[in-house]
Amino acid sequence: MTEACVGVGSNLGDREAYLEAGLKGLAELATVVARSSVYETAPIGGPPQDPYLNMVAVIETDLEPAALLEALRAIEDRNGRERGAPAEPRTLDLDLLLYGETSIDEPGLRVPHPRMLARRFVVEPLLEARPKARLPDGREVADYIEVVAHQEVRRYPGSA
C-alpha cells in the first residue's frame, strides 16, 4: 500500500455535495486515512467564477500512480466534470498531490503536483491532514506555509 495525498475542490453547483461525492469516490477505490477541514478560497486565474471549497484527503492505495490518476478522473467525470481550458469552474477537481516518496514527471502526470507549494489552499489543508508531510526530496511541506501565508483562505463553517 502506498500513501497518497489528493486535493479535492469544487466551485460549481452544490459544492459541499461534490466534495462529499469526491470523498465517497476515493473511499470506493482506496482507504481514506485522514482528511482536512474544508477551506473556502477565491479562484486563481481563469474567467470570473465563484469561490472554491477545497480540502485534502490522505489515502492508502494499491493503485500505481497512472492508474490512480485515471481513477481520480473517472470520479470527476461521474460528477459532471467538464474538461475545458485550465482554471475554468468545475463541479469536482481531484488533484494527485503526493504519491508516497515518488517523484514523477511524465506527460499528463507530475508528482508532486507542480503548483501545490504555491497555493495556500493546498498547503494548509495538507498540513492539517498530514502535519509531517514531506516532498520526495525530503523537504518538509511545512517549510512552505510562510511562502503562501499572504494568500487568503478561510475555514468553511461547519467543517471539521
Residue-range domain boundaries for the chain: 2-155
- One of 35, 95, 119, 120 is an active-site residue; which one? 95
pTM for this prediction: 0.94
Question: 81 an active-site residue?
Answer: yes
Question: 14 an active-site residue?
Answer: no
Q: Give the tens place of pLDDT for each residue, 108-130.
A: 999 999 999 999 999 999 999 99
Q: With cut-offs at 50, 70 and 90, classify the pLDDT of residue 159.
A: low
Question: 105 an active-site residue?
Answer: no
Q: Which CATH class is domain 2-155?
A: alpha beta
- One of 15, 90, 120, 130 is an active-site residue; which one? 90
Strands (E), the chain: 2-10, 31-35, 39-41, 52-61, 93-99, 104-106, 109-111, 153-155
Gap between the Cα atoms of 80 and 11, Å rounded? 12
Q: With cut-offs at 50, 70 and 90, classify the pLDDT of residue 45.
A: confident
